[in-house]
Structure 1
Amino acid sequence: MGRLDKRLVGLLVLAAVPPAVEGLVLDVVGFRAAEGLAPQVSAVWPYDTYHDLRWLLVYHDSWLTFAIGLVALILFRALLTTGLVALAWPRQLPRPSLRWLLRRNLVLSAVITAVVSPWASLSIAASVVALSWLLFASLLPLFLLAPFLQRAAVVRSWWRGLPSIELVGWSLLNFVVLTVAGGVTWVVPIGWTGPVSAVAGLANGLLWQRTVAAALLPRRPVKWSRVPVAPLAVLLAFVVPVVVQPLLQLLPGTSPKGRALVLDRPLPADVRHAVIFVDGHGSTYDGRPAVDPNVQEFSYRGMDPQGRPLPYSARDTYKSIATSVGLLATQVDLLHRRTGRPVALVGQSEGSMVSRTYLADHPHPAVDTLAMFSPLINAGRAYYPPVGASEGWGIAAGWELRILFGAVNAVAHSGSGPEEPFIRSLLDNAPFYRNDMMCPVPGVRIVAFLPTTTATEAPPGEFTRVPVFEMPAVHGGLLATPVVQEHLLNFLEGESVSQPEGGYTQLQEFSAAWQAPPLALSLNPVWRAEHLPDPAFTGKVCQSG
């Protein structure tokens, strides 16, 4: 019994120390946005490797540093896993030698790194564009693969047969523990991240004990014991990015018909503005004029010689934000001169980014109202250089994303990808979208209509200084909701609109564990932001340098 107690104590200490050290370092440097990752250092596979790769994919600035970091992480993970497995091994079974365990875990660490890497890179894409569906698409494969990978360190033929219900249950509990721990690290005061992460590490140690026992001592015979189920599960995981976004479009409230409120009916008499509706990424326009002559659809192709918005296709929305801002400036000027009215902008998703950037770069005195639907909150938190660059922060992540989205586009034929000009706009102008996007503009009334999923898209902390209307929905779905349509019309009529949602902040906090760590603004020379306040460290936005 004494020896058993010593082994358990050793397991708990080994599982608690690495998260505590990372939490302490994050507290010392004040890196608040990344604190939710610390409990994952000693998590059970694959969440430990997911943790490692997100740090590496963000924080490397050349192929050499990426290669060195990748080798170091594989070695570290192999050594730590060997120790955890050895200490968690059931006493009633003979344990292989440490040399055998180390050799096995070294190979498996490299294999699992390769398996998890695409999903870690997808989390980088989620940090760039702040879209919840990308974050979900990076996590769903981990749910699928976790019960299989948790057998890998101890079972020789781990790729064959279905995992037991016990392993499935422990993997789900593993995710819950890491999610809660990540949220608590943000809630506690600075200085407590290390202790909280240590407690989470103790829970990780107990989970290692239970998962190793469940893998080695299954209560029932393994089903499909001759079928290579794990490789099939890996192949199935690669389908996730293709199907997640279309499935989200089937949820209630995601119909694009919400734009009909603006385009297919007259404005109420109390609305004194002319209105330009700026639709989002991947939208189309057939050129039909709005019912109300004081309303126009913004055209991503520009205006015809008669001053009418041109029809556009989905690919026209891929252009840079600066180009779209120039087109919007022309359209605002023409509409104002034709109607003599002040102009209100109603932007959705990419349209919100274009409209808000317009107010920062080319404001027209006639534009005094902006309603943003599903703006990309805290976009540009990661970086990768353009094609042709030989170095730069996130260079390996950029190429992995190009390969991943190239494979998706071979099936979906969307033509969208990590190199399109719109995405590069978010990458290159990240300080504005991280710090100033949700800030007031003098002389302009602003409201942001935010779906609940927005809470999963940005690190915890302050993200807005403008009024918000928050409501359960997915990205791009609010404008189709009758209650939101009513509040938009009230806002256009001059009323104040604000409805923060209870629980929104808590959802932000408990999502923090699964986001990639933001790249510090001061590190990237492309951003020229050495002296700008960084929301990732201050927890606040709209801070001047």
Structure 2
Amino acid sequence: MPVPRGRFIGLLALATVLPTLEGAVFNALDFRSAEGLAPQSSALWPYDSYHDLRWLLVYHNSWQTFLLGFAGMVILRGLISAGLVRLAWPGSTPCPAFRRLLGRNLAVAAGTAVIISPLAALAVAASVVSLSWFVFASVLPMLLLSPFLQRIGVGAGWWRGLPSAALVGWSLLDFVVITVAGALVWRAPDYWTLVVAAACGIGNGLLWKQTVRAAVNPAHVHWRRVPVAPMAIVLALLIPLLVQSMTVVGAPSRNNFRPPVLTHPLPATVPYAVLVLAGHNSTYDGQPALDPAVRQFSYAGLDPDGRARPYSLRDTHRSLDSSAALLATQVNDLNRRTGRPVALMAESEGAMVSVTYLRDTPGSPVKALLMFSPLVRTGRAYYPPPSASSGWGLVAGWELRGIFGAVNLMTGGHDSADEPFVRSLLENAPFYRYQTLCPVPGVRVVAFLPTVSAAETPPGPYTNIPTFVTPGLHGGLLGRPAIHDRADDFLAGAKVAAPRGEYGIIQVLAGAWQAPSLAITVNPVWRPQVSPGPPFSAKRICAGR
């Protein structure tokens, strides 16, 4: 027997009103980049908790406000989910009393929030440094957890046995619906966003109906006596550590930096001397480039004879201001030795060093900048240094310190949530959020972007310079012969640009899985750097440059 008509209408109404109200608030605030989060406000476990926690971890400024917000979030989420479960309960099966459902769902809301909180903190980290593996590390565990968590709010025994094929299927469909719904809400113009958000809410209601029925009346349960759910939870929490560990373990061998520009002579058509900047966790053994007009930037500076010093990966952890000061010395030295204007070929962190240097050194000898895998729109969230007792994102910072500490124990690495490079992005977020991919007076600029960077970039404008987009992951573009050839063309004076249509599609599809941006005007650390204007609007991109 299906859900009675009256309860079914109530289910759709409750599932619809939440994303519609949230969409209306975003529309009123012109908070376009967050509109893709609205459909998750009435989604299934654990995506509803993931939605709530990202907001809470970004928008709290003390332990007290976090704990009050956490308690309020758990109570509200428990009430909403208990109501949705009750309204979705199939008519063919006796339904427990609402008080019992409420108690169970309050417990589920609290437990799920604790489990999901580190994943939401990784989404905050992705907003700070714009690296896609933090996005993937936060989302992948939820795909594993979702079929198990659908059973918790319904009844006992959820922790034993594998979820049914129906629950797995509905959970995967839920992920697809949330992703597509977030893109549709963002793409809808003006107040049509409310209509689309309401439609997404109806979709959520239908999914609650199907998953509750599948959980209440499961098909044959495999491994009925095995405590599979606790094992799945442990595995899900290990996934982010394993993902981050793989990036740390592979870094030294991957970034012993020798791209073709260091091992081949420059074409005769290139009028520049070239300084090549590697990225974060790169290493350099001191080997000079083949062409005397090419030099590798050293994060350890120059020796007394003007040669670039070898450096280790820990040398790349320094602040962007200090790296930019080293770059100024090395640019001037290369310009003096060769008598040529200088071109910077900079990857990842090196690109951020380059834009910092150009910001602080107008009229420098640098006349061309080629950025490879630059960090796009970093600094969209904040957390204070560990010595602070308050500040936006306080608890998120401590969760990230715990995650990085666990990864370092596993790998012997030295990455930190508070290393000077990361703190540079945090403390100077208005510049790096809005000014990275912008024209520089007197300098020819191009950015080579891997398609994966679209997953870490909020929907909307992000650049005012030519971009060359190519399929690939973050880092390593300089090592590709085809990209090297396009870089030579640019250095020889050609216009190089190749945008790809799928980049924008990935942007809006990934928008549902990012943390909301902290309003640029609310953080007292940023206020001295912020000009008047709307706190959320992407119109700030490249303003004033």
Q: TM-score, normalised by structure 2?
A: 0.96
Verify the 8 A CA contact 2:378 2:432 in the aligned structure 1. yes
Q: Which amino acid aligns with 2:210?
A: R
1:340 maps to which residue? 339
Tell me how far 1:256 sits from its aligned partner: 4.9
The separation in 2 between residues aligned to 1:239 and 1:536, in whole angstroms, is 34
Deviations 1:62-101 (A, max 9, x none): 1111111101100000000000000111111111101101
Any residues of structure 2 matched to 1:13-412 within 5 Å, and which? 13-220=13-220, 222-244=221-243, 256=255, 259-363=258-362, 365-412=364-411
Any residues of structure 2 matched to 1:423-502 within 5 Å, and which? 423-502=422-501
Q: Which amino acid aligns with 2:123?
A: S
Secondary structure in 1 aligned to 2:286? coil
Deviations 1:254-313 (A, max 9, x none): 965884211112111111211111000000001111111111111111110000110000
Verify the 8 A CA contact 2:249 2:411 in the aligned structure 1. no
The separation in 2 between residues aligned to 1:172 and 1:248, in whole angstroms, is 27
* CA distance 1:138–1:247, change in 2 (3 Å): same
Verify the 8 A CA contact 1:274 1:295 in the aligned structure 2. yes
> Percent identity between the aligned chains?
55
Verify the 8 A CA contact 2:256 2:282 in the aligned structure 1. no
Q: Which amino acid aligns with 1:121?
A: A
The separation in 2 between residues aligned to 1:489 and 1:3, in whole angstroms, is 66
Tell me how far 1:113 sits from its aligned partner: 0.3
Verify the 8 A CA contact 1:258 1:479 in the aligned structure 2. no
Verify the 8 A CA contact 2:248 2:411 in the aligned structure 1. no
Gaps of 5+ in 2: none
Verify the 8 A CA contact 2:185 2:197 in the aligned structure 1. yes
Alignment coverage as a number of residue pairs? 542
Tell me how far 1:543 sits from its aligned partner: 1.8
Tell me how far 1:148 sits from its aligned partner: 0.6
Tell me how far 1:408 sits from its aligned partner: 1.3
448-457 vs 407-416, which moves further: 407-416
Secondary structure in 2 aligned to 1:124? helix
Verify the 8 A CA contact 1:463 1:540 in the aligned structure 2. no
Tell me how far 1:531 sits from its aligned partner: 3.4
The separation in 1 between residues aligned to 2:13 and 2:358, in whole angstroms, is 54
The separation in 1 between residues aligned to 2:387 and 2:167, in whole angstroms, is 45
Verify the 8 A CA contact 2:277 2:350 in the aligned structure 1. yes
CA-atom RMSD in angstroms: 1.9
Verify the 8 A CA contact 1:461 1:539 in the aligned structure 2. no
Gaps of 5+ in 1: none
Tell me how far 1:536 sits from its aligned partner: 3.6
* CA distance 1:397–1:257, change in 2 (3 Å): closer
1:522 maps to which residue? 521
Tell me how far 1:364 sits from its aligned partner: 5.1
The separation in 2 between residues aligned to 1:197 and 1:544, in whole angstroms, is 35
* CA distance 1:50–1:10, change in 2 (3 Å): same
Tell me how far 1:425 sits from its aligned partner: 0.3
Q: Which amino acid aligns with 1:61?
A: N
The separation in 1 between residues aligned to 2:535 and 2:497, in whole angstroms, is 23
Q: Which amino acid aligns with 2:217?
A: L
Q: TM-score, normalised by structure 1?
A: 0.96
Q: Which amino acid aligns with 2:125?
A: A
The separation in 1 between residues aligned to 2:242 and 2:272, in whole angstroms, is 40
Tell me how far 1:413 sits from its aligned partner: 1.9
The separation in 2 between residues aligned to 1:411 and 1:248, in whole angstroms, is 12
The separation in 1 between residues aligned to 2:3 and 2:367, in whole angstroms, is 73
The separation in 2 between residues aligned to 1:2 and 1:497, in whole angstroms, is 60
* CA distance 1:470–1:250, change in 2 (3 Å): farther
Q: Which amino acid aligns with 1:506?
A: I
The separation in 2 between residues aligned to 1:182 and 1:540, in whole angstroms, is 23
* CA distance 1:188–1:77, change in 2 (3 Å): same
Deviations 1:352-386 (A, max 9, x none): 00011111112453110000000000000000000
27-36 vs 155-164, which moves further: 155-164
Any residues of structure 2 matched to 1:529-544 within 5 Å, and which? 529=529, 531-533=531-533, 536-538=536-538, 541-544=541-544
Deviations 1:173-208 (A, max 9, x none): 101111111101111112222221111111111101
* CA distance 1:474–1:532, change in 2 (3 Å): farther
Verify the 8 A CA contact 2:186 2:508 in the aligned structure 1. yes
Tell me how far 1:250 sits from its aligned partner: 12
